[in-house]
Structure formats: C-alpha cells, structure tokens
A and B are shown apart, each in its own frame.
Chain A
Amino acid sequence: MKTIPKIITYFITASIALVVIACTPDPLPVKNIPTLTPHIVVSTQTVPDQSIVVLLTKSVGALDAGKNSDLQTLLAQIVVSDALVTVEHDGELDTLTYLGNGLYGNADTPILAGHNYKLNVNSPTVGVVTSTTQAQATINFETVSATLYENEYDTLAVINYSLKDPPGKNFYMVNVQQISATETLSSLLNPRLFTHVVSDEEFNEATFQEEFKVFFQHYSVNDTVAVSLTNISEDYYNYVQKRIDNRFSVISFATEPFNYPTNVQGGYGFFNMQQPDVRLFVLK
C-alpha cells in the first residue's frame, strides 16, 4: 500500500477533529400550543348475547399521556361516569345503565341488522355528543384455521379463512390476538395487535378465501390465539384502514398530519353496532 503524504494525513486528521467537535444544538422551548378542550370519546362493543356496552372517556392533552403511561391510572382519570346515555331505535328509547369504569350497558336492546341506532350522551361535566349507526349483520367464518409457520428467521402464525359475502357493499375486519394468562392491563396500551381489513369490491356475493401471516408477534407451539371476523360499516373500515396505513409513519415531520375520522358528533371515537365471530385456536 502506498504511503499517504504527511500533509494529507494532517489534513484528514484535522478534518475529523473538526467534524467531531461539531455539536447538535439544544432544542428550542415551545410556546403557544393550542389547548384541546376535553371531548367525549365513544367506544362501543356488542356481544353475541345481544347486549350493548358503551365506554365513555374524555380526550386529554398531548402531554398528559404517552406510550409509557400506566393504563389503569390513565383510565381512572379519563372515564366519564356522570353521563345520561340513551339509544334510540325503531321508535324506542333505551337508557344504558352505568356499570362502572366508564362503561354503560343495556342487555335488552335488540340488535337488528340493517336498523338504525342513535346514541345520545349528555355529561354535565364534559358535554353532549350524538352518533348514529346502522347495525351490521353478523357474518361467520365459512372456514378458518390458525397454524404455526416457521422459517430460519421467524416463527409466525398463519391464518387461513373463508367467508360468504352477502349482497351489497360489505367490509370486513379480521383480528388476531394472542391470549395470554399473564397479560396485564398496563401492557395493553398501544399493543401490537394484528388487524386486517377487506372490502368486497372484488368478490361481491362470492365466497372469499385468503391466507395471511401474522407479523410482529413471536408464536410458539401451544400458544392460544383468538381469530375474529367482524362485518363493519364503511366509515369504520376507512378509520381502521387509515390506522393501518399510518402504522409505519416513523418520520412524523415528513407525514401529512390529520385527525382520524369519527362518527360521533361533537366528540371522538366510533359508535358501532357490530358483532364478531370469534374462534380460538391452539397453535400446532
């Protein structure tokens, strides 16, 4: 190897030294960020026994919680417990009973596919919101299986399922969740769950079958997973699709900021009337 002339060596050494002493400036303080007024957040769940449960919370400031927050403490701070909650449907008005922890429920409200339901929430401390949705017909798996997939790098779950698409425009959501006896509430904030959505644009009124692998989870033999299929509204499909699209937006200053869609007037979240078909599997 040829010897590098001394002058070049000195120059390069000086260059490195100069680069090394270059420093990153301290971030500047931030002032004048608008304050967000608390709004009611609606989350709903209908369960196969025909009961409806609504979770009411309120929004918080950007600095009030983060990925390291304790979920239990956070929930205790934000649940709305003083609201009058009613559901209007088919000329009936059902009042939901407060069950504690921000949950309101009614086991007598009939869930009739294709019927409209209007949620009214009146909280003396947080405000008033309303939301209207249409109950979705329950669509069950025609077939479904969950197996283990191994290659030299990874061990994943593979889901294979099929469904029969009814007439009309339909949207589906398939969720895969590992069931763990040791899961704690605090580990459930921003979990890496697997959600997959499908629209029937290309298989209207036909049987649809597909297989996919579940990423970001490490599975082992004898792990239990729950696989669910839910017929969802178009609004909710768009919301979930946007959540999925933006899961990799790691360079936040380079992405277009936006507020996720909601069907709650005056608040956030989604009021849904949808029932999942849930199956449990032990991976082999």
Chain B
Amino acid sequence: MKQLYFFTILIFSSLPGVAQTLEIKGIVKDNEGERMPQAYVTIMPGKLQVATEKDGTFSFTTKEGKVRLSISYTGFQHFYSTFFLQKDTTLIITLQPSVDQLKEVVVTSKAFLQSDQLHTTRMSSVTLTGKEINSIPVLGGEADLLKVIQLLPGTSKGVEGSTDLFVRGGAADQNLVLLDGAPVYNTGHLLGFLSVFNPDILDGVEYMSGAFPAEYGGRLSSILDVRTKSTFPDKTHVQGNIGLLASRLKIEQPLIKDKLTIWVAGRRTYIDQVMKLAHQELPYYFYDLNVKVNYHPTARDQVELSTYAGEDILDFNGLSNRRRQGNVVSKSDIGNSTQSLRWRRKLNNEWSSTLTLVRSVFRYSIFNKFEDSQLFVKSNIQDLGGKLVLSSDSLQGLSFKGGIEFTNHAVSPNIISTSGELSQLLESSSTQSQNCIEASAFVQADGNATERLRWSAGLRMSSGIVSGKTYVNPEPRLALRYTVNDRTTVKASYSRMAQYLHRVSSAAVSFPTDIWYPVTKTVQPQTSNQYSVALQHTIPKSNLYISVEGYYKHLDKLVGYREGTNLFLNNNFESQLIQGEGRAYGTEVLIKKEAGKLTGWISYTLSWSQRKFNEINNDNWYFSRYDRRHNGALVLNYQLNKCISLSAVWEFISGSRFTPIIGQYIVPAPSLGGFNLVPVYAQTNSVKLSDTHRLDLGLKYRQKAHKYFQGEWFVGVYNVYNRAAPIGIFIEPKNDGSYQYVQPGLFGLLPFVSYGFKF
C-alpha cells in the first residue's frame, strides 16, 4: 500500500521561544500542490482547532512540549503527527487523497466542500469550484458561472439564456456580485446571455442566499463572492480555450518563487472573426481582460492586486460600405472595470486583518445617426471604496470578526442627447448627477453555547448618505447550529439587509443599458428580513451532502414603476417610481455528491413570491414575474476513465408569470381620423407560462498527458430535445387571417464544441 501521507517539516524560524509559548505555523496543500482552505487543524493537548485560511495557512500558539497535530479534509486521508515542540515551527503538509478515492480513476479534489458547512453555522450558501463550473454543459459551450448558479436551489432564472438571478423571491438587482471584493454591476455579455467571468480564472465561488454574515451587505437577496486564483506556481503556465462563442488564454508567470506571481487572462468573442471567414460581417465583439498579482512579501503578509476590464462593442462604422445600411451610423460601447487591492496581515498569533480597496466602474455610451437625426446616450457609475476587517479565527472559544466598510457611489448624469428630427420625438434630457455614500460598521462573533449548540451573532450598521438625507439601518444577523450527531446538524438564522442602490429596469427583463440609481430624499432604501431553518446531513462513505431548507423573506420599500411607465430612454423615471412590499417563502433541497467518479447535485425548490404596490393591481398582492412554483435541476458529471468524462444537466422549471392581452376594444382616434384598437390586459402576472424542461449533454475528452502539453475537447448539445422555454404569451396571425396565442422560446437545440489546452 502506498504511503498514506508524507510530511515535510521545514524549519524556517529558529527564534528561541519566549517564555513557554511557541508558535506553530503551516500551509496545507493537496497532492497537486494546491493550497487547501478550510482544512481542519487540531492540536493536542488543549484540543485547539482552526480552519486553514483561503491560502491554506494556519497558525497556533501552544506551550513547549509534546504536540499531536491532526488535519482533516473531506476526501483526503487524515494527517496525524506527534513531535516535540521546542521552538517556533513552520510546517508544510501535503494531504493525500483517501484510499477509497484512489481506487477510482480520478480523484476530485476541491478547495471548497459543501459538507464542510456542517462544522459552521453557515447555511443558505453553496460553494463551487472552477472545476465544477467548467464541467457543466451550457449555452454555446462557454462555461458560465451564472448559468451554474441558476441550477442551485433558491435561484430562479429570468428569460431563458440570460444571466439574471432572482433569488428567494428577490429582484434581479438585489444580488451583490463581487469579483475579488469589487462589485460588478453588469454581469453579462451578449445582451446578458453570457456572464463576464472568464471560467479559467475562477478559484472558488461562494453563493449566499440567506444567513448573511455581518461583513456582507448592500443587497437584499444574495451575495456572490467570486474569488480568482491566487496560487504560486513553480513555473510558467499557459492555458487556453477555443470555443464557438469565445476564445480565451491565460498565462501565469512566477516572478519570485513562492513570493510574487502574476497571471493575465483574456477572452474575446470569436463570432465576428468566424463570420468574416464566411464572408459575412458582424460588427460586434466583447472581450474580458483579467490581471492578478499575488505577493507574499513576508510570512505574515499577503497582497493581491486584481483588475478586470470588459466591454461589449457594437460598431457599424467598421463595416464595409456594402454592408452599411444607407445613412445609418451606430456605435455602442458597454463596459465594466474593477480593481481591487487586498492586503491580508497576520497581526499576531490570534488576530489578522484584511484591508481591501476597490474601484468599480460601469458605463455605457450609445451613438446612433440616421439621416439628420442623432441620438447619444451616456451613463456612468463609479464606486470607490474600502473595507477593513479584523478577525480572530479560532473554533475553540469565541471567534470574532469586525470591521468598517465605505463606498462612494458616484452616479454621473444619464444623458440623452438628440438632434435633428428625432429631437422632437425624444427630447434631450439628463438626470442629475448623484453621490451616495454607503458607510457601514459590522461586528460578528461565533461561539459554542454548549457542546452541541453553536451560535453566530452579528450586527451591521449601514447608512446611505445622499444630498440632504441620511438613512441608517441596523442589520442584525443571527445563526444557530445544533449538532444532532457528527453527520447531522439543524440550523436556524435571521438576517436583515438594506439596499441603497437600485437598477432602473422593467420587472420583466433587464438590459445592459439599464442605469443604476441611488436612494434619494424621496426614494427610501429597500430592506428585507429573512428567516430560515435548515437540516444538513452528510453521508461520508458516499460523499453525499444533503440539505433541506425553509425560508420566509419579507421585503419592504421595493422599487417599482407606475403602470404604463415606459422606461425605454426615459430620464423622468423618478417621478414614475413607486415603492411597495414583497414576500417570499419556500423550501429548498440540495443533494450534492462531491467526490468520486460520479459527482453533481440534485436541487429542488418549491417557492412563492409576491408583490404589493399601491398603484398596481388595485393594491392587492400579486405574484412576481419570476414566481416559479417548482424549480429543479439534476447536474451530473461522470468520469468514465482517465480520458473521458460525461456530463448532463436536466432542468425543470415552472413557467414564470405573465400578463397577457385578454381582450381589446375599439375607440375613435383622438383626431377622429380613424379608430384605435386598445388592448385589455389580464390582472398583473395572473397567468402562468407553460412549464419547461431542458436536457443538456456534454462529453469531455482529455488527451493523454504529454510531458509539457495537455489538450481537452468538450463537445455537447444544449437543449437536446429542442423544447421552448417561453418568454411570454404573444398574439400572432395565422395563415387563415385569424389570430392565435403562442409562447415562443429563444434557444433551441444548440450543439457546441471547444478545445482547451494547457502547458
């Protein structure tokens, strides 16, 4: 039998121990050299326990003498070692996969495991790895984080193919998406059909839909914390992918061994170049560029500088003359950029600090010219902010996290400028520039009330400061975990959230040109109160994690618009804005298999989501647009052998709500020069669209590994049986001149193929 583990002790520090207290520091890695966060490290005597940090590090202080060290991590063999501690010591520990898994062809090693939640008070959250995200067949074959999130319980999708998330009855603008700590405002390319996250750069993703820790705030419904890779490779690594929609390339370069590294990743649409080869022109492309520098100046410090820029550009000016339509000139440019600087410092044996400085910009500009008419639209929001967190992370006794956060949202005027004949139809206008300062202080403590009962209590005091008005919201958070046995826990939580920014968009669908707008003197912050309970259970032998959750969420001061408001190029939206309330409740089930040949999950959500606005539906409660009663997904990945893996996604979702035209009447036109047909709509969202289901299949073929090169083909089919996912109910004429209702969908059977490589 192979050696179960090997253990390397490197003694870097030879400082004599001061008094009787000595420090043990270490890094936990897997057999491939990847650092392992959330591994459980125990020191005896004293039964001190800590979880490793995101970079796999841990540290203890203990007394001189005989020490027994134990490290556990799901899917890996337990590590034990006993040694005599007589001075400060640094360890590098490599965990080996468990024997059961070695028997299988491929070991799935993950930095974040769902089943680890049993050790904490965390619930309503899911962790995903880059590997999981990359293995799932999606629209166009381009691995997409947000499409994977849509397959998780509690998350409802909007229009088929879009990256909008409707979480536990919330709206699409109530999700805080963080890329290395910086908020990302526009998460989609291609009108929202592809997310802006390059799958090659993803390290791990934590997705929270409830029981929010106090350090997070600013949105009501979910937090999507996306972390990019922060490894220290030994040599240059290059990886890339050529797909139907986009091609991408990532280069990782160590600059100082184990101290300083940089990676650069780029992605660009392929489609305009493909069209060129087919002698067609498509004047559209998008690109993403990510750069990250990781720096470990000292053993106590870790600095990360992460930057992202991405744009969607549609430029008819670049077309050859034969393709240009008459006198039309059109150019639009929609882009995000984020920068974040994160400095983690181990202050002493118990305390560490994390300082994060962020900048995030979302902007768009559109210029159209037709004959003598011109339209120019421009919008811009820029966030500058910082967050300082102090934490003491120990599972024995009390652990503490506290900090402050500050963000200045600078909203530039939304400018609509028209000239020529168009100026009469659409007057030039602009909104006022706005500044909104969000300042928060938070504190959270975790501890054990009894051996079985663990608690986590926090308070976030948030404020939104705009011209002439300051809003303050206390946001208490509480989570409890009761350990039934070592495999089963019961949890409960309460969290209140406040939101000081909203997106001006219709309830049905968002567009990249929707603008973000802060609270004002009259528009109050949105708030939510959420209660949830959960039962979590693991079956280690089968690598299964099972979670059943129930939740109730009440939303207040939700932003809506008066009936009949046309938000398209309308700068007068504030006068049309109304505020109301919402409620959502449901049950979610997640069964996840995290290791072995077969991995994947089954998710199911039974939920209700309703709204109430004074001026809509006669002040009665009505179902929200994306109230979907049943929402289920089966996600499977099977490692057939060393070279081939198969993946499948089957999804079932109840139809969303819709307000169809049910009648019409005829009235003389105001000029009396003809007659108008005026539509009569059903009650708001009173009709449910047809349920839909979809099967996607994928096959990944990994070429036999060469010494320096590894290639991988990924082929598959989206929507195998070509079933429509309805976007609405519309009326269309039949051949005989009569009319019929139809429910069209956007995407049918769509095959994909991509080739990935790394060396």
Contact = CB atoms under 8 A, between A and B. Distances in A.
10 contacts: A19-B244, A27-B743, A28-B692, A190-B674, A191-B669, A191-B673, A215-B421, A243-B670, A252-B730, A268-B680
A74 B752 CA distance: 50
Interface stretch (B229-237, B310-318, B562-570): B562-570
A25 B161 CA distance: 14
A113 B341 CA distance: 71
A212 B425 CA distance: 10
B729 interface: yes
B663 A57 contact: no
B335 to A, nearest CB: 22
Interface in B416-453: 421, 424-425
B274 A18 contact: no
Interface stretch (A128-136, A138-146, A198-206, A257-265): A257-265
B357 to A, nearest CB: 37
Interface string A181-205: 0000001111101110000000000
Interface stretch (B61-69, B385-393, B502-510, B635-643): B502-510
B751 A25 contact: no
B564 A27 contact: no
A26 B755 contact: no
B750 interface: yes
A193 B677 contact: no
A12 B371 CA distance: 38
B664 interface: yes
B754 to A, nearest CB: 9
Contacts of B298: none
A14 B753 contact: yes
B191 to A, nearest CB: 11
B3 interface: no
Given A27-B742, A33-B729, A256 B681 contact: no
A59 B509 contact: no
B672 to A, nearest CB: 7
A27 B731 CA distance: 12
Contact of B274 (A12, A25, A190): A12
A25 B687 contact: no
Contacts of B748: 22-25
Q: Number of contact residues on B: which range applies?
A: 35 or more
B687 A34 contact: yes
B738 interface: yes
Contacts of A30: 690, 729, 740-743
B274 A15 contact: yes
A222 interface: no
Interface in B614-656: none
B561 interface: yes
A178 B628 CA distance: 50
Contacts of B737: 68
B751 A18 contact: yes
Given A36-B662, A36-B680, A41-B665, A256 B564 contact: yes
Contact of A258 (B563, B660, B739): B563
Contact of B753 (A18, A29, A213): A18
B566 to A, nearest CB: 5
A25 B749 CA distance: 7
A125 interface: no
A193 B672 CA distance: 9
Given A60-B664, A190-B676, A255-B566, A175 B741 contact: no
Interface in B378-405: none
A193 B664 contact: no
B715 to A, nearest CB: 9
B153 interface: no
Given A28-B692, A34-B682, A59-B680, 16 more contacts: A15-B270, A22-B749, A22-B750, A28-B742, A28-B745, A30-B741, A32-B688, A36-B662, A57-B666, A63-B741, A193-B669, A243-B670, A252-B728, A254-B506, A254-B509, A268-B665
Interface string A233-250: 000000010110110110
Contacts of A240: 670
Interface string B708-745: 00000000000100111011111101000111111111
B751 A258 contact: no
A245 B566 contact: yes
B325 interface: no
B32 interface: no
For A21, A66, A190, A258, the residue with the greatest tally of chain B CB atoms inside 10 Å of its CB is A258
B653 to A, nearest CB: 13
A137 interface: no
B530 to A, nearest CB: 27
B661 interface: yes
A183 B659 CA distance: 36
A268 B673 CA distance: 20
B372 interface: yes
Given A16-B274, A43-B668, A258 B745 contact: no
Q: Number of contact residues on A: which range applies?
A: 35 or more
A4 B276 CA distance: 13
B301 to A, nearest CB: 45
A163 B478 CA distance: 66
Contacts of B728: 252-253
Contacts of A36: 662-663, 680
Label chain A's interface by main secondary structure: mixed
Nearest to A79: B666
Nearest to A9: B277
Contact of B665 (A9, A45, A60): A60
A189 B743 contact: no
Interface string B364-384: 000000011000000000000
Interface string A252-284: 111111111000000011100000000000000
A25 B723 contact: yes
B667 interface: yes
Contact of B659 (A35, A60, A74, A257): A257
Interface string B162-178: 00000000000000000
B678 interface: yes
A176 interface: yes
Contacts of B676: 189-190, 243
Contacts of B667: 41, 43, 268-270
A170 interface: no
For B372, B564, B687, B745, the residue with the greatest tally of chain A CB atoms inside 10 Å of its CB is B564
Nearest to A187: B674
A154 interface: yes
Contacts of B561: 256
A259 B743 contact: no
B1 interface: no
A195 to B, nearest CB: 5
A45 B670 CA distance: 10
A157 interface: no
B665 A257 contact: no
B201 to A, nearest CB: 24
For B565, B568, B673, B686, the residue with the greatest tally of chain A CB atoms inside 10 Å of its CB is B673
B675 interface: yes
Contacts of A12: 274, 277
B662 A34 contact: yes
A238 to B, nearest CB: 9
A27 B670 contact: no
Nearest to A180: B673
B671 interface: yes
A64 to B, nearest CB: 8
For A30, A194, A240, the residue with the greatest tally of chain B CB atoms inside 10 Å of its CB is A30
B677 A67 contact: yes
A254 B508 contact: yes
A26 B664 CA distance: 27
A59 B564 contact: no
Given A153-B372, A193-B671, A258-B563, A18 B678 contact: no
B564 A245 contact: yes
Contact of A74 (B424, B666, B674, B733): B666
